[in-house]
């Protein structure tokens, strides 16, 4: 098969369209009213006859091509840049893929900063960032005077960074400029033992030559990082390297990456410029998420780095809890931010590389800090709608993850939540553009409803009144499945599928948990059938299956027909994280197999308690 062409213009390659390669600007872009971003310089063919990008050249501005009549006059010139891919550091391929699980296997028992993402999505077209050239200096000696908020601090779309305690907005004045990393950082000069024992010596990993053509139909990667990717081992390219790693990561874990790209980019740049002491951790995290973004197959090096990050998170938590709480409640809440630093990322990373039990233990350790971070008095229940709509992404994420862990394992929630709404919060939740829906694809209103079901179950068991059940049914039906149109029609379809699957999952969870229904109940069986028919009608793939992973656990435990179970098992086996022993997905698949085998052996339909028992038998949770 002939090699893939790399000679097209940047615009066509980003849109995954065939470029006619007309110089200096392709006619396809001109006819479509788009601005052609030009071509990378090319060298002579290599020994395989493949044209490679040339050496890095100074960025050159080009004159835009003639606009067609429907081209917006507001389009701006772009800077083109070419850079070679480094070969100084190489990533070895991971071990062969683990063979799929089988229902007949023997089950083994196992014994801050806040938001990088917006509280609300931008209503305008995404901002097109300028290309970061290797000549730009990113780092300053002193603290960025007036720079507000640390990495993952809450953002408002289109606004400057700001912190929750009223720091000044980020300005462009930072004092003396320095290089991208200082010689006083031992981890960049071979002394990796100073950072963590036994960590691999190569902290900056190269990007494979063909990675720039990876699937990015909505252009989120282009929004967030330099295209083409700069040489990661060049000192001045540390920040572009970090951004490029996160650009790949958000496509792996985020339901709507286009809503997260620009805010995440802004806050990463802000922390990098403001906090030299945190850059080693940023590069460490970037290597982990960048490696996972390339492949989810088990990698011993990545696993070792994740272990270190988890250990550091425990250390931050222990240090915070050992200190006396501040006298004033608000001051104490502000102190919680540093202790929850990067907790969101560590939890997300562990989902793909560690067992469920490690996530539960980390959340259990962080639970007291989460409670102190909530605004409600400590003698009251934390209000879940307020937490889900919090300006702090760590508060939002902890609360959401608490509910998700509970519904997928049968484990009680860490807290009994107050699920009442204020009118303002109710309006924000119903809007659908706030909270955490952009991350997992589950509506924030569903998170609150699920917690309400759990609270009623703790209080009444399966004997809740029909009034409660009818009220929850109405709440579920009122949650819309509206899906914003995407530049990529396929993305619109699979996101709509995810939202519809969640609606069916909500009804199934309600009847199985609060009504004590079995898998043959007339309210459960047809909805499970509808769920599996819907996902079976959609082409298998990373999207949407990775965002159906949580619903498939619930529906899988509620399935009775072999056909329904086979569909769920087949789709879960299509996800690499369900094939990696020692990962959350692997645990989840074994839990479902345990439920199916045990109930078949006992010749009975499953009930919700069977999932709880399976979680304990398989994971120790």
Q: What is the pLDDT of residue 78?
A: 38
Q: Which fold has domain 1-53?
A: CD2-Gal4 (4.10.240)
pLDDT at 287: 92
Q: What is the pTM of this model?
A: 0.67
Q: What is the chain's length?
A: 621
- Helix 343-353 × helix 584-601 angle, to 10°: 50
The predicted structure's pLDDT at residue 271: 82
Q: Return the pLDDT at 329.
A: 84
Residue 80's DSSP bridge partners are 60
d(CA 182, CA 180): 7
Run means of pLDDT, 10 residues per run, the chain, 621 residues? 60 81 81 78 45 41 41 37 34 36 39 38 35 31 30 32 33 31 32 35 37 50 57 70 89 85 84 84 90 88 92 90 85 80 83 93 94 92 95 90 96 96 88 82 95 96 93 93 73 91 98 97 97 95 94 98 97 94 95 98 97 97 93
- C-alpha 383/C-alpha 84 separation (Å) is 52
Q: In angstroms, how far is CA 548 from the centroid of its own chain?
A: 14
DSSP of 29-97: HHHTTPPP-----B----TTS---B-S----EE-PPPPPPTTS-TT----EE---PPP-SS-PPP-PPP
pLDDT of residue 6: 58
Query: What are phi and psi for residue 354, nearest 5 degrees?
Result: -135, 160
pLDDT at 189: 33
Q: At what angle do helices 257-274 and 238-253 cross, to 10 degrees?
A: 150
**523 - beta bridge partners?**
none
Domains of the chain, by residue range, sit at: 1-53, 123-295
pLDDT at 265: 87
């Amino acid at each position: 098969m002939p090699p893939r062409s790399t000679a097209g213009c940047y615009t066509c390659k980003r849109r995954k369209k065939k470029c006619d390669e007309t110089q200096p600007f392709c006619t396809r872009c001109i006819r479509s009213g788009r601005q052609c971003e030009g071509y990378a310089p090319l060298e002579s063919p290599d020994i395989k006859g493949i044209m490679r990008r040339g050496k890095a050249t100074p960025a050159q501005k080009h004159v835009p091509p003639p606009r067609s009549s429907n081209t917006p006059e507001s389009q701006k010139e772009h800077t083109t840049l070419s850079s070679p891919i480094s070969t100084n550091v190489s990533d070895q391929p991971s071990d062969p893929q683990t063979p799929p699980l089988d229902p007949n296997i023997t089950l083994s028992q196992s014994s801050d900063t806040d938001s990088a993402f917006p509280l609300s999505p931008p209503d305008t077209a995404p901002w097109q960032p300028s290309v970061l050239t290797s000549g730009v200096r990113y780092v300053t000696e002193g603290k960025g005077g007036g720079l507000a908020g640390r990495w993952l601090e809450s953002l408002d779309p289109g606004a400057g960074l700001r912190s929750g305690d009223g720091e000044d907005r980020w300005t462009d004045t930072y004092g003396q400029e320095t290089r991208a990393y200082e010689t006083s950082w031992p981890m960049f000069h071979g002394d990796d033992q100073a950072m963590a024992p036994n960590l691999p010596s190569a902290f900056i990993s190269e990007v494979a030559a063909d990675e720039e053509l990876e699937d990015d139909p909505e252009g989120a990667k282009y929004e967030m990082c330099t295209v083409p990717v700069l040489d990661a081992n060049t000192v001045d390219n540390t920040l572009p390297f970090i951004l490029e790693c996160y650009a790949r990561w958000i496509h792996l874990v985020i339901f709507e990456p286009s809503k997260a790209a620009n805010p995440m980019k802004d806050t990463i740049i802000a922390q990098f410029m403001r906090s030299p002491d945190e850059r080693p951790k940023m590069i460490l995290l970037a290597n982990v998420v960048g490696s996972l973004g390339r492949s989810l197959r088990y990698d011993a090096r990545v696993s070792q780095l994740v272990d270190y990050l988890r250990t550091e998170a425990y250390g931050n938590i222990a240090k915070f809890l050992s200190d006396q709480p501040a006298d004033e409640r608000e001051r104490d809440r502000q102190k919680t931010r540093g202790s929850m630093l990067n907790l969101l990322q560590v939890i997300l990373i562990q989902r793909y590389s560690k067992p469920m039990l490690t996530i539960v233990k980390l959340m259990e350790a962080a639970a007291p800090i989460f409670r102190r971070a909530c605004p409600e008095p400590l003698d009251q229940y934390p209000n879940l709608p307020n937490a889900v709509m919090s300006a702090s992404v760590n508060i939002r994420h902890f609360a959401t993850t608490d509910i998700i862990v509970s519904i997928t394992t049968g484990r009680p929630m860490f807290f009994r939540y107050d699920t009442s709404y204020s009118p303002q919060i109710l309006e924000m939740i119903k809007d659908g553009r706030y909270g955490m829906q952009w991350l997992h694809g589950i509506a924030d209103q569903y998170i609150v409803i699920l917690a309400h079901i759990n609270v009623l179950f703790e209080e009444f068991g399966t004997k809740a009144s029909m009034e409660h059940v009818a009220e929850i049914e109405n709440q579920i039906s009122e949650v819309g499945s509206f899906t914003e149109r995407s530049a990529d029609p396929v993305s619109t379809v699979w996101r709509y599928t995810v939202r519809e699957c969640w609606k069916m999952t909500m009804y199934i969870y309600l009847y199985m948990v609060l009504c004590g229904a079995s898998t043959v109940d007339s309210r459960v069986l047809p909805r499970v059938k509808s769920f599996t028919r819907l996902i079976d009608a959609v082409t298998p793939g990373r999207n949407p299956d990775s965002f159906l992973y949580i619903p498939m656990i619930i529906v899988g435990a509620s399935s009775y027909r072999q056909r329904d179970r086979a569909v769920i098992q087949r789709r879960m086996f299509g996800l690499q994280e369900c094939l990696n022993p020692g990962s959350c997905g692997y645990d989840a698949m074994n839990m479902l197999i345990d439920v199916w085998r045990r109930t078949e052996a006992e010749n009975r339909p499953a009930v919700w308690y069977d999932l709880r028992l399976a979680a304990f038998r398989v994971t120790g949770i």
